[in-house]
Amino acid sequence: MYTNHHAHTYFSDGIGTPQEYVAQALAEGFTQYGFSDHAPIPLRDMGSMKLAELAEYSQVIGELKQAYADRIHLYKSLEVDYIPGVMNVDSPHILEANLDYTIGAVHYVDYLPDGQPWSFQRPNPVFEQGINTIFGGSTRRMVERYYTLVREMVTAHPPDVVAHLDRIKRRNLNGRYWDEHTDWYVAAVEETLEAIAGASCIMEVNTRGIYLDETEATYPTDWIVARAHTRGIRLQVNSDAHRREHISGGFREAYDVLRDIGVEQVHLYDGAKFSTQALDASKASNA
Ligand SMILES: [Zn+2]
Ligand SMILES: [Zn+2]
């Protein structure tokens, strides 16, 4: 009973058609599969879907939903960037897309001197260029600003699901830039979890770092998942696949993390709302 609510296709930066992902999902025994390509950013070419392509995306996913209705539940979503003053899940083109649910993400933290939004996921020299030019060389200020934006997102324009909460650690392998157990970092995470709990958003446990060998843990990492669970935040496991072979990548590790923490259920979209699925069912299918 595998499920996935966060996935990409060639409509944004994934490889392959939606149809090909459905075939893979059926082959792996998925019961639910949600498409969530990067929503168009009405700013400039950011590697996301173009605004003009959104209608086609909606149509293609809608047709697949109907065609496969008796075999798998397919859902139409978008991964929507939160960029202050530019876009959020309540932007007109997102509302008009009539999505089943929304996934909210922060990928850009303020602007480089040339006016381009700074993606903290870019490798060096761009990563350090952002820290140096936007945050005066302070990694701490950069990281705290990232979590402030996540809190703004869930407070002002809450998505149904918060994407890869600690994605900011992507370039921080082996603590290269900061210690993820230092007081100020833990405080920033805790404050953000409080905001997520207050907004009643679901938090995903994203496995992309595991199967790409970007990180040793899920996004967010184990201790953050544990604290989220303690705060009563609803959880779900997503692969954020950009290739067919990754649609269930890292799931075994992520469900092990949840079971170790004592999580007993995950929260899945059922076509009308999010409802619970006992983790034991996942355990049986993973065995
Ligand atoms: Zn993302
Ligand atoms: Zn994604």
Q: What is the pLDDT of residue 287?
A: 38
Distance, CA 268 to ligand 1 centroid (Å)? 19
pLDDT at 286 over 80: no
- How far away, in angstroms, is 213 Cα from ligand 2 center? 16
Report how far residue 18's alpha carbon sits from residue 8's, in angstroms, rounded to the nearest whole number.
Answer: 8
89-113 pLDDT, tens digit per residue, is 999 999 999 999 999 999 999 999 9
Ligand 1 centroid to Cα of residue 28, in Å, is 23
Residue 207 alpha carbon to ligand 2 centre in Å:
11
Ligand nearest the Cα atom of residue 14 = 2
- Give CA–CA dist 254/29, Å, rounded: 18
The predicted pLDDT at position 51 comes to 85
Look up tokens 């599969």; give the residue: 33
Asked if 234 and 198 touch (Cβ cutoff 8 Å), the reply is: no
Residue keyed to tokens 């001197």: 113
What does the buried/exposed string (b/e) look like for 134-143 if buried means 16 or more CB atoms within 10 Å of the residue's CB? Answer: bbeeebeebb
Token pair for residue 27? 């082959």
- From the CA of 238, which ligand is nearest? 2
Does residue 199 carry a pLDDT above 80? yes
Banded pLDDT at 42 (limits 50, 70, 90): confident
pLDDT for the residue 84: 96
- Cα(203) to centroid(ligand 2), Å: 14
Task: Give the residue-averaged pLDDT of 39-45.
Answer: 81
For the chain, give the mean pLDDT. 94
For the segment 163-186, what is each residue's pLDDT rounded down to a tens digit? 999 999 999 999 999 999 999 999
Query: How many Å lie between the centroid of ligand 1 and the Cα of residue 70?
Result: 30
Q: Quote the ligand 1 centre to 231 CA distance (angstroms).
A: 24
CA of 240 to the centre of ligand 1 (A): 8
Does residue 281 have a pLDDT over 70?
no
* CA–centroid distance, residue 68 to ligand 2 (Å): 23
Residue 73, classed as helix, strand or coil, is strand
Residues with CB under 5 A from ligand 2 (ion): 79, 240
Q: What pLDDT is attached to residue 44?
A: 67
Distance 206 CA to ligand 2 centre (A): 9
Beta strands in the chain (DSSP E): 2-4, 30-38, 73-81, 101-105, 108-111, 117-119, 161-162, 202-206, 235-238, 265-269, 274-278
Q: How far is the CA of 247 from the centre of ligand 1 (A)?
A: 15
At residue 284 the predicted structure's pLDDT band, cuts being 50, 70 and 90, is very low
- Residue 43 pLDDT grade (very low, low, confident, very high; cuts 50, 70, 90): confident
How deeply is 96 buried, as exposed, middle or buried, from its count of CB atoms within 10 A (0-12, 13-18, 19+)? exposed
- 37 Cα–ligand 1 center, Å: 9
Which ligand approaches the C-alpha of residue 7 most closely?
Answer: 2
CATH topology of domain 2-103+145-286: TIM Barrel (3.20.20)
For residue 143, is pLDDT > 90? yes
The pLDDT of residue 108: 97
* CA atoms of 276 and 280, how far apart (whole Å): 12
CA 87 / ligand 1 centre spacing (Å): 15
Q: How far is the centre of ligand 1, averaged over its atoms, from the C-alpha of 261 (Å)? A: 25
pLDDT band, residue 45 (cuts 50/70/90)? low
Compute, in angstroms, the gap from residue 45 CA to the centroid of ligand 2. 17
Q: What ranges do the domains of the chain cover? A: 2-103+145-286
In this predicted structure, what is the pLDDT of residue 131?
98
Q: Cβ distance 76 to 100 under 8 Å?
A: yes
pLDDT at 215: 87
Section 131-160 average pLDDT: 98
CA 7 / ligand 2 centre spacing (Å): 6
115: pLDDT strictly greater than 60: yes
pLDDT at 72 over 70: yes
